Structure formats: C-alpha cells, structure tokens
Amino acid sequence: MKLPNWQLKLAIATAIVDKIKLEDLVSRLWREDPDEVRSVYQAIRDNMFSERCHMNSHYRRRENRRKRKLETRHREGVPLREIAKRHGIDYATFVSLLEHHGIVELVQFGLDQKRRRITHAAFKAKLGHNVNSTCHIGHLEGYAKSSPFIVLYEERLADILWMLDYPGIVQGIHERSTKKLKLKWLLETHPYLPDAEIAKLAGYARYRVSVARKRLPHPEPPAHRSLEAA
C-alpha cells in the first residue's frame, strides 16, 4: 500500500537529513513510484537549500559589496519575465519570491546601479545562470539585452515553482474570512511581497497596505518597489 502524500514527503525529508542516497531511498520505498520519489527528493532538497540561503542572507548582502566574476554557462534557459508570464504571476512578485528563497540576489552593477543575479548556491545547484549580453544562446534568452540577465532551466522550473509555492500563499488567503485577517497574515508571514501583490491578494488599496506595513513592530520595506531590467 502506497504512503499518503504527506507521509511520503516526510519520509523523504528525513532520509535527506540522514544523508541517505537517492537510489538507496528508492530501493527502500519499493512500494512507491520511483519517478515520484526522485521528483519529491529533488524538490525537497532544493527547498532545504533555499532555506539555508535565506538564513545566510546577511552574509550574502555583505558579499554583494565585493566584485565577482559573472557566473554563466553555455546553454539555453528561460528569462524570468517569460516564466512569470507563463505561470500568471506578476513579475515583481515572482522576483520577490526568487529573492526570498535564495535563488536571486541584488548586487552592485557598475558605480551607481544594481542588478539581480542568480546566487552562487542556485548556480551550483544548476537551477539557472547569468547570461552575458555579449554571448546569447537562441531566442529563449533574447537578442536585445543591454546588460547581463538571469535565465532558469526549463527542466528545473517545476522544482523551482514548487519551492516558491505561490499557490500555497493564495490558498492561505482563501482560508481567511476577512480582508483584515488576510492583510495581517500576509504582512506577518510574507512581508517580502510587493505592496501591490499584497493589496491584490488581501483586497485593499495599495496605500492601505503601506500604512499597515509601517505599523508593524519591525516593519520590513516592500521588496522591489522598482525593478531594473533583468
């Protein structure tokens, strides 16, 4: 008899913590679909990696002050705007989620500008790379970019979107009966989201969200009030 979905995820997460190899885990869970075990294993491992990245955000911000080589690969990828459009997520919201989960970071670009780059951890995990504007690969990366930008790999998009769990945020909103409760929950659990996204989800005007944010005990400024071209 197959395990319920939540028990399967718990078993796989425990195995990852115990450093059990994937194929050994597949053998142990012989009643389960091997492809499903592999997919959940990869997704949970990526999610754990994003949590570690998030915990190290202060360290990343300090490292952003240092100039480092652009991390890129010679392969195809999908630009962030295309992914956001494809899945019906506002671009600013999508970037906020990526940044919150340690996949994207804002770094110094030149003397007085900043640009978003894929983090070193996400690059090592082969979730995507930064594209040098002088070395394009096909139409998926675009031909008219004037500065480096980020692409994510098509075969990893399902794992990345599972990690970001935007549908889970929407579900959390549906579980709250009033606009006041929705706004309170969003500002307490997802304060990194842009004011425009919180306003849309909670059913308030954007100004009302900004006022409520200022009343928080430890207010956190909204992420990405304006986005440079990615």
The answer to whether residues 96 and 71 belong to one domain is yes
pTM of the model: 0.62
Which residues, other chains included, contact 117 with Cβ-Cβ below 8 Å and sequence gap of 6+? 70, 71, 104, 105, 107, 130, 148, 150
The answer to whether residues 178 and 156 belong to one domain is no
* SS3 label, residue 152: strand
List pLDDT tens digits, range 80-90.
999 999 999 99
pLDDT at site 133 = 66
The answer to whether residues 189 and 201 belong to one domain is yes
Q: Which helix (H) or strand (E) holds 150?
A: strand 149-152
Classify residue 220: in a domain, yes or no: no
The answer to whether residues 74 and 18 belong to one domain is no
Quote the domain boundaries for residue 210: 165-214
Classify residue 131: in a domain, yes or no: yes
The answer to whether residues 155 and 94 belong to one domain is yes
The answer to whether residues 75 and 156 belong to one domain is yes
Classify residue 222: in a domain, yes or no: no
List pLDDT tens digits, range 43-84.
888 877 766 666 565 555 555 544 457 788 888 999 999 999
Quote the number of domains for the chain: 3
